Amino acid sequence: QVQLQESGPGLVKPSESLSLTCTVSGASISAYYWSWIRQPPGKGLDWIGYIYFNGSTNYNPSLKSRVTISIDTSKKQFSLKVTSVTVADTAVYYCARVPIRMVRGDPLPGEYGMDVWGQGTSVTVSS
Amino acid sequence: DIQMTQSPSTLSASVGDTVTITCRVSQSISTWLAWYQQKPGKAPRLLIFASSTLQPGVPSRFSGSGSGTEFTLTIFSLQPDDFATYYCQQYNSFSLFTFGPGTKVDVK
């Protein structure tokens, strides 16, 4: 059974950095893309970005300047860092698995949606 | 930037009803669209990918259709477990994902 588990601080001060980790179990971390999504209180879903096992990333343009996603295949973990946080970064943060489609031998994300999600972790930005 | 809209934003329905949610995208995305169901306090659940393919384990009363810029999610014979918020999500040629604003299906 595939499981994803987010972990990290629940409270971050404004202007500091937010760091979260997602631990993967029951699936090969090398066989999928891995994504972060967030949801501010009472609002909709906001895609943050994704990473492949080789370190290839893609980010939401609206967050790109403040976001870094990294991966540690030996630990079966991938991580999110958001710098210079404000109250607007207060949200539940989810990690999710992104199945691959092969296009002319290149593994690409997207066609199959995000099929496995973590339970989410709440992060509050407050002094 | 690709913009996404969903209509209606809220839909009131009764058990047994057939409901339809529409998702519109500002530029053509072929069939690169997924639908998710989210209940309060829970993570989203993938229902449909590639516009019309049902995720394994999802009941057959859920149906998706559309291509290009207009897509629909239909729930036939609404069940008590189906009252939730539904999101569409697109994937475009720039390898970016975007979610729609959501449609809440509540009890009439």
Q: Do A119 and B45 touch (CB under 8 A)?
A: no
Q: Which amino acid would we find at residue B31?
A: T
Specify whether the CB–CB gap between B39 and B84 falls below 8 A.
Answer: yes
Residues of A with CB below 8 A from B55's CB? Answer: 113, 115
Min Cα distance A35 → chain B (Å) is: 10
Residue B74: per-residue pLDDT: 98
Residues of A with CB below 8 A from B34's CB? Answer: 113-114
Proportion of chain B above pLDDT 90, given as a percent: 93
Neighbours of B22 (CB within 10 A): 16
Q: Would you say residue B94 has pLDDT above 80?
A: no
Specify which residues B1 forms β-bridges with: none
Q: Does residue A101 sit at the B interface (CB-CB below 8 Å)?
A: no
Of B91, B101, B102, the CB nearest to A110: B91
Residue A107: per-residue pLDDT: 87
Q: Is B29 exposed, middle or buried (0-12, 13-18, 19+ CB in 10 A)?
A: buried
Three-state DSSP class for residue B59: coil
Pairing state between β B62-67 and B53-54? unpaired
B34 pLDDT band (50/70/90 cuts)? very high
Min Cα distance B76 → chain A (Å) is: 22
Nearest chain B alpha carbon to A115: B46
Q: Which of residues 20-59 of A touch B (CB under 8 A)?
A: 35, 37, 44-47, 50, 58
Q: Would you say residue A114 has pLDDT above 90?
A: yes
Strands (E) in B1-108, as ranges, are 4-7, 10-13, 19-25, 33-38, 45-49, 53-54, 62-67, 70-75, 85-91, 97-99, 103-107
**Predicted confidence (pLDDT) per residue in A36-60, tens digit:** 999 999 999 999 999 999 999 999 9
